[in-house]
Amino acid sequence: MRVVTVGVGLLGDAIEAQAVGVHRVDWRPPMPGTETDLATLALDPLRAQADARAVQAVIDTTAVLVDVLPAAEALGLERGRFLHAGPPLTWERASGPMRGALMGAAVLEGLVEHPDDAPALFESGAATMEPCHHNDAVGPMAGVVAPSMWMFVLEDPATGRRTHCTLNEGLGKVLRYGAYSPEVLARLRWMGDVLGPLLQGAVRAVRDEQGPVDVTGVLTQMLQMGDEAHNRNRAGTLMLLRDLAPALVAGVERGSSAADVADVLRFVGGNDHFFLNLAMPACKLALDAARGTEGSAMVVAMARNGTDFGIQVAGTGDEWFTGPAQVADGLFLGDYGPDDANPDIGDSAITETAGIGGFAMATAPAIVRLVGGSVPDALATTRRMHEITLAEHTRWAVPVLDFQGTPTGIDVTRVCRTGVLPQINTGMAGRVAGTGQVGAGLVTPPAEVFPAALARLAELSRAREGRG
Amino acid sequence: MRVVTVGVGLLGDAIEAQAVGVHRVDWRPPMPGTETDLATLALDPLRAQADARAVQAVIDTTAVLVDVLPAAEALGLERGRFLHAGPPLTWERASGPMRGALMGAAVLEGLVEHPDDAPALFESGAATMEPCHHNDAVGPMAGVVAPSMWMFVLEDPATGRRTHCTLNEGLGKVLRYGAYSPEVLARLRWMGDVLGPLLQGAVRAVRDEQGPVDVTGVLTQMLQMGDEAHNRNRAGTLMLLRDLAPALVAGVERGSSAADVADVLRFVGGNDHFFLNLAMPACKLALDAARGTEGSAMVVAMARNGTDFGIQVAGTGDEWFTGPAQVADGLFLGDYGPDDANPDIGDSAITETAGIGGFAMATAPAIVRLVGGSVPDALATTRRMHEITLAEHTRWAVPVLDFQGTPTGIDVTRVCRTGVLPQINTGMAGRVAGTGQVGAGLVTPPAEVFPAALARLAELSRAREGRG
């Protein structure tokens, strides 16, 4: 007798109890309404090779740290222009933490004296906002970049392509979580006056004397040291400190103040998240190598602006597929609770898009103490992400999974076929402008962005085959 | 029908195949000849409480870094006296790497001009050698301490007790692996002239301005960052660098040379093993808290001198139980092979004695690339060590085992009852004096030291009970 049963496991259990052999298959129905588009893409003659090329381009890209520059210089960002995380957004639709960060940045730039005067600037168009992702940059949380902020400059040595990210401020009351109190602005001014210039000197000295810091290589090591490079960046930060400290000290001989250098060492060493702002642009640099790969269904960006969650796909150019950003499920700081949390925000999901962050939770089990969940969940998450990705990353191995590569290259068709959504670790910003961080947790994209991207891929496929 | 079967699993398999329920017990016979002594200790009225007190004393002890001093000052070590790793040893019985290290140290001290002239000093008694463990110190590999060598000084804040260890030289051709070439001695002289004094300034400044570096706390963090604190000390070294770098730089304002400070940062940052020499004395400080606990069968030291492997037990005072040191099984550097390796050497097994190192391999799976074995072996080793230990360490948790504490406090009776031997990760020194490191691997103590210690414990127990 053979029985084929679909759905819950009860019937299987009952048959097994009667000593009939049961072969269990982890099959899930595709997302509703995607069957036709999945069939179209299954028959697309470009796709297999396009996906293989796209994911290999990501794996093959390395990132080195070549400079630290003000955004005005690095990106040509003029006075009055600001960048933000996630897909395009208007002031009117912006959430509390996004508004808070823009208000603080307007004060930092000297456009207004008081944060309360900033909204009028954005409402009138006197100040403008556009995505980091449209400017070769990424930003954590609100991701606000102002012309005076210093940025890490990462380069792909093979092509000279560059990506950028601001310097990490630390945790708690910080601009990227929407806080803009005087202490937040004072820290940002110190970062502009002291931290940026001293890092620039050290980064350039290391680059010129021994070759630039190998950010991709540090990521390889971090993943063997309990970091997943999104919400844990401890080892990465310490390795950056190790790589820059001798050059920072040597700067004293060139005229830097020893007290300032000691402050910089203390600031970086005291901020376990400092390396996040190198991990993110390294991931963007790798994923951008696959942008515009015709026929590929691989995701090249996942990003949130606090209102919308958007993805971009290799085979659909720079189009965003968006849905409402979700509130993360996790652990809260102090007395904060779920009602205090803003929906998901930040470009930091670029780490998951590249195969680390939530996708590499198995290598950072201690992170469950920060974002919630259990150690078995963390191990299961990495295994589950292999179901929706194209490859195992050959540079990024998870020792406890016998050095298996991290799941890399989210495939829109696999997400639609299995209903398994990418798992993202994230910080949670307070809903109200000015609050700062309220917690950290786990979140997924709104499911509908994947069928939307799939539909567009199928439309392009049919057009290519003359069936559109 | 009920069947009780002892031995290989075949009969159990056969019965199971006939649908009879089988309950498998992982029972092993005790070590031969230990039955009577095990029975004596099982009835000892002191033992349960003594063991509980002993292991709790280990867990409760914390270590902070209070100073860096030359051995002459820290230990009162006079010219012509040298310390070495492991149980007591004479020059005549010393192995190649032990002799090589002592020869190099004699040159460093200016007792002889050429290493070849050193043996006569030790043969004649003009130079003497005694164990580190008899002098509140521990040393990795040959563990040779000379009066001019600078040492970390660790203190238990609760009691003021102190332990000491030299500064780590790095890998390859280094004194502790028995090398004594001019480059080895030049490095040691730089460590004495520059590294020691600058570290002293920084350690004292940190101690006085913000409280001493919490070595036990760094160990807690390391175990969540892929280190097991014996053969992987990467994260620990980086955290030490983080904690000392600002004070090192501030030293430039007090007159240190910025170039020297940069060299120190480069030396420490370039030596992933630097923290080992803090982990070891922290473990000794903790275990020494249990020394002399009457009635306890807990091991307080495991140490090797390259010829003998010795253990000391809480309930047997300072007596050593020794057997021949084994050759490790592992991976070799370059063209070296098993014939090039010296038997096991070094006080570093103090880490396993305290519940880390080989006992914490589950938290450092990447180490199998250095010492051999597989990731499942690493996980299984930590689980197996729980069978022979008294407690789970409440400060030292293994995230991937759901934050279970590391197996701490080796119980001589459990080792004898199960035949499970402690698992040690170790470096391998070249057999021939002057060679240096040839590999790294896994090793166990010679089994006979445990029945010998057990016999002495039983003898003392019978004497206490008036049956001796």
**When comparing pLDDT for A366 and A300, which is higher?**
A300
The pLDDT of residue A370 is 86
Among residues B279, B310, B332, which one ends one of the domains? B279
Flag whether pLDDT at B6 surpasses 90: no
- For residue B279, give the nearest of B345, B224, B348 by alpha carbon: B348
Instruction: From chain B, pick out residues whose CB is under 8 angstroms from the CB of A252.
Output: 249, 252, 258
Distance CA B270, CA A68 (A): 24
Q: Specify the pLDDT at position B467.
A: 62
Phi, psi of A292 (to 5 degrees): 75, 20
Contact between B376 and A402 using a beta-carbon 8 Å cutoff: yes
**What are the CB-based long-range contacts (under 8 Å, 24+) for A16-25?**
none
Do residue B402 and residue B307 come from a single domain? Answer: yes
> Rounded CA gap, A442 and A176, in Å?
19
CB B446 within 8 A of CB B303: no
Set of chain A residues whose Cβ sits within 8 Å of the Cβ of B245? 241, 245, 265, 269
Residue B330, pLDDT score = 92
* Strand B308-313 versus strand A299-305 pairing type: unpaired
Of B83 and A367, the one with more pLDDT: B83
- Out of B222, B248, B279, a domain closes at B279
Please indicate if any CB of chain B lies within 8 Å of the CB of A402: yes
Residue B352 to residue B346: CA distance in whole angstroms? 12
Whether residue A412 lies inside any domain: the answer is yes
Q: Report yes or no: A332 and A370 within 8 Å, Cβ to Cβ.
A: no
Q: Tens of pLDDT along B158-209? A: 999 999 999 999 988 999 999 999 999 999 999 999 999 999 999 999 999 9
Assess if residue B28 is contained within a domain. no
Proportion of chain B in helix, strand, coil states, percent, rounded to 5: 45, 20, 35
Please tell me which residue of chain B has the smallest CA distance to A267: B246
Does residue B22 form part of some domain?
no
CA B161 to CA A229: how far, in whole Å? 40
Helix H segments across B70-172? 71-75, 96-108, 118-124
User: Is A243 a member of any domain?
Assistant: yes
CATH code, domain with B249: 3.90.1710.10
Residue A329 and residue A273 share a domain = no
Query: In angstroms, what CA-CA distances link A307 with A427, A434, B10, B231?
Result: 15, 17, 63, 48
pLDDT range class, residue A3, cuts 50, 70, 90:
low
Question: What integer is the mean pLDDT of B251-271?
Answer: 94
pLDDT beyond 80 at A61: yes
Chain A environment of B368 (Cβ under 8 Å): 399
Q: Is B346 left (phi over 0), alpha (psi -120 to 50) or beta?
A: left
Q: Provide the pLDDT for residue A195.
A: 98
Contact assessment for residue B341 and residue B466, using Cβ atoms and an 8 Å cutoff: no
- Structural domain includes residue A284: no
Model confidence band, residue A84 (pLDDT cutoffs 50, 70, 90): very high
pLDDT at A330: 92
Provide the CATH number for the domain around residue B423: 3.90.1700.10
Do the Cβ atoms of A38 and A416 come closer than 8 Å? yes
Residue B468 confidence (pLDDT) above 60: no
Each residue of A378-399: pLDDT tens digit?
Answer: 999 999 999 999 999 999 999 9
Final residue belonging to a domain, choices B279, B313, B347: B279
One domain, residues A321 and A224: no
Chain-chain contact of B374 with A402 (C-beta, under 8 angstroms):
yes
pLDDT per residue as tens digits for the range B306-348: 999 999 999 999 999 999 999 999 999 999 999 999 999 999 9
What is the C-alpha to C-alpha distance for residues A290 and A269, in angstroms, rounded to an integer?
34
Among residues A428, A328, A330, A424, the alpha carbon closest in space to that of A381 is found at: A424
CB contact under 8 A, B249 and A265: yes
pLDDT tens for each residue of A205-226? 999 999 999 999 999 999 999 9
Residues B305 and B271 grouped into a single domain: no
The answer to whether the beta carbons of residues A441 and A19 sit under 8 Å apart is no
Regarding whether B331 and B266 lie in a shared domain, the answer is: no
Contact A223, A234 (CB under 8 A): no
Chain A interface includes B246 (CB < 8 A)? yes
Q: What is the mean pLDDT of residues A123-140?
A: 98
B256 pLDDT exceeds 60?
yes
Is residue B20, in this structure, part of any structural domain at all?
no
Local structure of B164: helix, strand or coil: strand
Tokens of B276: 């080992």
Query: A308 φ, ψ to 5°?
Result: -115, 150
Residue A468: pLDDT over 60? no
CA distance B355 to B56: 13
**Interface size, chain A vs chain B, as Cβ–Cβ contacts under 8 Å:** 112
Average pLDDT over residues A111-123: 97
- Reported as a pLDDT band with limits 50, 70 and 90, residue A157 is very high
DSSP B218-234: HHHHHTTTT--SSS--H
Residues 374-393 of B with CB under 8 A from A: 374-376, 379
A285, β-bridge pairs: none
Enumerate residues 158 to 197 of chain B having a beta carbon within 8 A of any beta carbon in chain A: none
- Quick one: average pLDDT of B210-232? 97
Question: Are residue B112 and residue B220 in the same domain, yes or no?
Answer: yes
Report yes or no on A234 lying in a domain. yes
Partner-chain residue, chosen from B224, B227, B252, that has the shortest CB–CB distance to A258: B252
Please, which pLDDT band fits residue B28 given cuts at 50, 70 and 90? Answer: confident
Helix ranges restricted to H, B137-290: 182-190, 196-210, 215-222, 234-253, 258-269, 276-288
Instruction: Please indicate whether, in this complex, the C-beta atoms of A402 and B239 are within 8 angstroms of each other.
Output: no
Model pLDDT, residue A371: 87
A242 in B contact zone (CB under 8 Å): yes
Q: Between chains, do B241 and A241 touch, taking CB under 8 Å as contact? A: yes
pLDDT of the residue at B253: 87
Average pLDDT, chain B: 95
Query: How does residue A28 score in pLDDT terms, banded at 50, 70 and 90?
Result: confident
Give the total number of structural domains in chain A: 3
Contact A88, A320 (CB under 8 A): yes
Is there a contact between A362 and A398 (Cβ–Cβ < 8 Å)? yes
Q: Phi, psi at residue B140, to the nearest 5°?
A: -70, 150
Q: How far apart are CA A225 and CA B24, in angstroms?
A: 37
Q: What does the pLDDT read at residue A228?
A: 97
Same structural domain, A252 and A317: no
Q: Report chain A residues whose CB lies below 8 A from the CB of B401.
A: 375
Mean pLDDT of B284-308: 98
Is residue B31 included in any domain, yes or no? no
pLDDT in the model for residue A253: 87
Residues B273 and B329 in one domain: no
**Segment (H or E) for B370:** helix B368-371
- pLDDT of res. B25: 65
Q: Which of A6-20, A95-109, B445-459 has the lowest mean pLDDT?
A: A6-20
What are the residues whose beta carbons fall under 8 Å from the beta carbon of A51, sequence distance 6 or more? A295, A296, A297, A298, A390, A409, A411
* pLDDT above 90 coverage of chain A, percent: 90
Chain B residues closer than 8 Å to A231 by CB: none
Query: Is A163 found in the same domain as A118?
Result: yes
Measure in Å the smallest separation between the Cα of B440 and chain A Cα atoms.
19
Average pLDDT of the segment spanning B384-391 = 98
Is the domain of A337 the same as that of A392? yes
Cα–Cα separations (whole angstroms), residue A23 to A12, A13, A18, A420, B336 = 9, 11, 14, 22, 50
**Cα B180 from chain centroid?**
23
Q: Does residue B371 surpass a pLDDT of 90? A: no
B209 and B164 share one domain: yes
Helix B196-210 with B258-269: angle, nearest 10 deg: 90
Q: Looking at the structure, tell me whether residues B253 and B336 fall in a common domain.
A: no
Which range marks the domain in which residue A3 is found?
A: 1-30
Mutual angle of helices A234-253 and B258-269, in 10-degree steps: 160
Residues of A in contact with B225 (CB under 8 A): 225-227, 234-235
Contact A283, A346 (CB under 8 A): no
